[in-house]
Structure 1
Amino acid sequence: MTLSLSTLTPQTGARRRKLRKGRGIAAGQGASCGFGMRGQKSRSGRPTRPGFEGGQMPLYRRIPKLKHFPLVNPRHFTVLNVAKLSGLKAGSTVNLDTLVASGLVTSPKHPLKILGSGDLDVKLTVEAAAFTTSARAKIEAAGGSCELID
């Protein structure tokens, strides 16, 4: 048997007969059609809009107020502490490429961000996408400079 649009049929039991509501008590869904006697949900038309919770603050409005929800478009960085920079040669320029060459950064997937943990005693010119306030202060206190790059 070949398969074509004219030979396609639904599987047995997949299509059930439509309930004929309001056709007397013998049909099982007579008079009020299974909606009960009174109330908002027994009236004709859509009883409430989707997501309505009877006047209570609905789920879609109360969820984003709670904590621990992820940012939609988070910024990712390759992070490095100031303490790691102290082993570099004084007066050199530090950027993501030189850090990869020196082996301090192994996977440069994202832009570089310098964090302020540790001490720095060498003068460096640091080029990064972002600096923490403490990292910038420690680099400039050692006589170096911070340059923001995109």
Structure 2
Amino acid sequence: MKMRLNDIRPGKGARKTRTRVARGIGSGLGKTAGRGHKGQHARAGNTHRVGFEGGQMPLQRRLPKVGFRSLKKADTEQVMLYQLAVIEADTIDPIALHAAGLVTSRAKKIKIVLKGEINRAVKLQGVLVTAGAKAAIEAAGGSVE
């Protein structure tokens, strides 16, 4: 049998008829139109803000605040010891670190952390250094100011 354009139909159950709410008893959603009897949600204009619990203290206010988010955290940046090998200058300061792309311009505090190793003498100025990183820099013949 050949298929014709006028025989094309959507698959069975592909197109469901829209529920006509509040259109008589035969619709199955007549009378109260699925809103139940009385109460805030049965009335017109039944909106209230998200999280509102009818005057009861809402859940997001009953639960305790958790944690602490430091506002200074964004100002501090860490640089690993092995990353200093990228910088060719003998004196490393915040400007040199920014030029090498290791820190952003908003960094107010920069700390060198012991991770990896350095095998050349460098002079650090204007940056914070951990005790382990300082020992590694001085062992390589460098200095920290």
TM-score grouping bracket, smaller chain normalisation: 0.3 to 0.5
**TM-score (ref. length: structure 2):** 0.46
What TM-score, normalized to structure 1?
A: 0.45
